[in-house]
Structure 1
């Protein structure tokens, strides 16, 4: 009887865990915790966030991204210019140095979805293809979190 209770308790605790984003790997590049925020019905833009780690000995570069969720996808960064936060496209992409981890997060580097075809709905998945200069292309799914969400480890530093 004790084993049965232990098994049931373990099963319930696993089911109670929050949904975790899937992780992806292509060559020496690892992509973890890909996510985005739900958008209001009138929003035309959205941001994509994740952690990218280069486990190799040579730098790689995230050169482009595409998604059927929006007409245009760009790699952006946000920086302070005096007292003004400015966002700009990284025309040459985002370098991922060897052995380094780069976080795409709110207020920093991110994927910019422009001209959304439909609102991003909480608990949905957003398909995204990431294109790396050396590693190639990888398809990922971004988990859509609630509006204003800030998953653990993705806050401003």
Structure 2
């Protein structure tokens, strides 16, 4: 390769670098999904969302062809020791340079009105929608064998079909 070709390739790489870096501001690590039983009408997905960008961002919604409805949920203690799942209006803030955990017993992506049953090893297509980063589409593996980390709620009981659930 000539010096001229090398310099041209290097300059094109430098021009392309900022666009590529901006596309990678949000990274998703260790995603997995689960259901409570083969006949469950709802399921959930968990993951680590890393914001490598210079600005705070927000996960505002999620969509999936696998379910009639997909919502961002959290667990709230009702004051009597009962944990209730609720949709989070406005989504989850993800600070610049930070990692946000969607985990069992906490914030998660909830699938209601599953169109098919989920089995160990299946893949679920999900699009996460961020306020600034836009859409991030993932193929999330179904992992029914993973244990809950740090004693968190493990979603082993069937929450039923949340499609008519009031928030």
TM interval, short-chain normalised:
0.7 to 0.9
TM-score, structure 1 as length reference: 0.76
| Separation in 1, partners of 2:52, 2:151 | 23
What is the aligned residue count? 131
CA shift in 2, pair 1:29/1:126, >3 Å = same
Partner in structure 2 of residue 74 of structure 1: 71
CA shift in 2, pair 1:55/1:155, >3 Å = farther
| Separation in 2, partners of 1:135, 1:155 | 32
* 1:102-141 equivalent positions in 2, closer than 5 A: 102-141=100-139
TM-score, structure 2 as length reference: 0.72
Partner in structure 2 of residue 28 of structure 1: 25
CA shift in 2, pair 1:134/1:27, >3 Å = farther
Check if 1:156 corresponds to 2:152.
Answer: yes
CA deviation after TM superposition for structure 1 residue 27, in Å: 3.6
**Would the aligned equivalents of 2:35 and 2:42 in 1 still touch at CA under 8 Å?**
no
| Separation in 1, partners of 2:104, 2:67 | 19
| Separation in 2, partners of 1:94, 1:116 | 23
- After the TM superposition, which segments of 4 or more aligned residues of structure 1 sit over 2 Å from their partners? 38-42, 153-157
| Separation in 2, partners of 1:93, 1:144 | 23
Partner in structure 1 of residue 86 of structure 2: 88
| Separation in 1, partners of 2:139, 2:61 | 16
The structure with the largest alpha-carbon Rg is: 2
Which protein has the bigger strand share? Answer: 1
Partner in structure 2 of residue 40 of structure 1: 37
Partner in structure 2 of residue 53 of structure 1: 50
CA deviation after TM superposition for structure 1 residue 37, in Å: 1.6
